[in-house]
Amino acid sequence: MRPSTNRTRALTLAGVPGLVLSVIGALLLVGCHKGIVANFTFRCASSADCIAGWTCDSAGTCAPEPGSVSPDAANADTPIESEVTAAPARKLDVLLVIDDSASMCQEQAQLASASATLVASLAAYDFRIAVVTTDVLSADKAGKFQLPNTSDYPFACAESRATPCLEANGGDAVCTTAFGSGWSCDGPSSDKQVLNCNGSVNSRCKRACTTDAECDGDSVLGGSVSRAATCASDATRCVYKCLKPAADHNGCVLRPPTADCLAAAERLTALGGMAYVTNSTAAAHLRCNVLVGAQQQNNANLESGLGAALLALDPTGANGPQAKAFLRPDADLAVVFVTDEDDCTTRPCMTGESCTSVSWLQLPKEKYGTCACLDDETTPGGPLRSVKNLANALGALKSSTKKTFVAAIIGDSVPGDAVTAGLDVAQARAAYRDSKCGVCAENPSGKHTMLFNTYMCSSPLGHADYGGRYVDFVTEFGSRGLVLNLCDPVGFGGSFAKLGQWLASQL
């Protein structure tokens, strides 16, 4: 039975122009059962605002496509009883797996801003939401629920924009013309290395700086004269920080929006001793929990989101007590991955091999950025764990596979994107993999030593690799899986709205 609610909520979603979510409680008495079913009405501007299988009707509402039957229509002739007892809200345990590598600073900041949309979309359920990172090598990460205290992002997060330029050939002028004063070219020494075989760009225009206020005043970064003045008069209100790791090395780095977040110990107390949020605590603390930080060290560069989910939820594994305390036997499970790189979960370690602390195969560090090019365990010698085995292991955590739902917000082809222009989705994915793996079948002369920087799509938040293993993982769950694009212009607000809509159609 679906969750109940007895009042109407209308929420305008930040970052999603024209999209309004209304959660409307309605009594529905079915046969001899007594209960309440929530009807979810999703306003839309076009069918793009609706999930697959739904369309935007003339009233501006997402509705099943013609030919399908709604639950209400299917029960239209059901007799109605005179007494009603409200059923308890349906239970939903949610795990967010968030990439904490150094390319995720801007994404995490928007993720925090959009967390209210996620909470609103789940308001009709009795939910729990825990957060882990994609780092499975660090002892304090490795599937452990996170209550982060992120105060700064590293210099690797310095603001830049992908732009074809050469430092030695007027590159700074290209950047100044495109973005204004303070912007300069940071690119390879050879014009052959500027573009990858799939059209993604290796050179970037970077914003140099001398003060925090200078960053806050740059309009390209969303700044203004007034914001710069505010920053100059009160450093605690600066949006950016001018980092200067070396005399000739400086840049504008976004500050994590954590000024009003409780320290981890205080937050744990506020959460009742539980390292996850619930209906009563999510509005105040989920925003802080998703700011997991962006790490430059090697451990964070082996993004293993699929493995991290299993480490977090396996009641017989290394984090067994955590999993047993979090997973409720009568609750549905939803796992949501948020990452700009592909999964690199390795297979179980064999005798004589180098192993990680959780007994998985240890990859050489030079392989960390090339997981899209590696075989899985179904191929002799393949270092990665197969997606099918990972999906089976996650599905086995519940008494029925029908109680497990997965979603992935990952990089993929975007129609009209400069990188994938003129290619359909399958062609763009193939071109990405060829370029990433150094094949360059369509452009052999374009092969060079920087191809590992190949990416699939770009957005104002940065660029993203293709999350191919996540797509395959979600596909294993059929209609209980959902893929959303990290580079979608709707941002995380729109993605979380679609996620909530999809869950409402499934539960």
Mean pLDDT to the nearest integer, 242-251: 86
The DSSP call for residue 262 is: P
Domain boundaries, the chain: 9-74, 91-152+260-345+386-418+458-506, 155-254
At residue 211, φ and ψ (nearest 5 deg) are: -140, 160
The C-alpha atoms of residue 126 and residue 274 are separated, in whole angstroms, by 16
pLDDT digits (tens, 9 = 90+) for 383-429: 999 999 999 999 999 988 789 999 999 999 887 676 767 788 898 99
Mean pLDDT to the nearest integer, 119-129: 94
Find out whether 355 and 349 touch, Cβ atoms under 8 Å: yes
The band of 160, judged by pLDDT with boundaries at 50, 70 and 90, is very high
pLDDT digits (tens, 9 = 90+) for 286-335: 999 999 988 867 777 789 999 999 999 999 999 999 999 999 999 999 99
Mean pLDDT to the nearest integer, 107-134: 93
Residues 6+ apart with CB under 8 A from 385: 306, 307, 345, 346, 347, 348, 360, 376, 377
Find out whether 185 and 164 touch, Cβ atoms under 8 Å: no
The band of 170, judged by pLDDT with boundaries at 50, 70 and 90, is confident
83-92, 271-280, 297-306: which range is least confident on average?
Answer: 83-92
DSSP one-letter string for 141-160: STT-----------GGG--E
The C-alpha atoms of residue 173 and residue 183 are separated, in whole angstroms, by 9
Nearest residue to 425 via CA among 470, 369, 485, 366: 485
pLDDT digits (tens, 9 = 90+) for 185-227: 998 888 888 888 888 998 999 999 999 999 999 999 999 999 9
Mean pLDDT to the nearest integer, 280-290: 94
The band of 131, judged by pLDDT with boundaries at 50, 70 and 90, is very high
Q: How many Cα atoms within 13 Å fall on the side-chain side of residue 372? A: 29
pLDDT for residue 21: 37
Q: Is the pTM of this model over 0.85?
A: no
pLDDT for residue 259: 85
Percent of the chain with pLDDT over 70: 83
The DSSP call for residue 213 is: H
Nearest residue to 24 via CA among 52, 50, 43, 48: 43
Percent of the chain with pLDDT over 90: 51
Q: Any idea which residue has 């505010």 for tokens?
A: 230
- Could you tell me the two tokens for 344? 């690199």
Pairing relationship of beta strands 481-485 and 404-410 according to DSSP bridges:
parallel
Q: What is the mean pLDDT of the chain?
A: 83
Q: Is the pLDDT of residue 363 over 60?
A: yes
Residues 6+ apart with CB under 8 A from 336: 94, 95, 96, 97, 406, 407, 408, 409, 499
- Could you tell me the two tokens for 387? 């997606």
Nearest residue to 162 via CA among 187, 136, 137, 189: 187
The band of 65, judged by pLDDT with boundaries at 50, 70 and 90, is confident
Instruction: Please give the CATH superfamily to which domain 91-152+260-345+386-418+458-506 belongs.
Output: von Willebrand factor, type A domain (3.40.50.410)
Nearest residue to 275 via CA among 130, 97, 127: 130
pLDDT for residue 9: 33
Q: Within a 10 A sphere around the Cβ of 116, how many other Cβ atoms?
A: 18
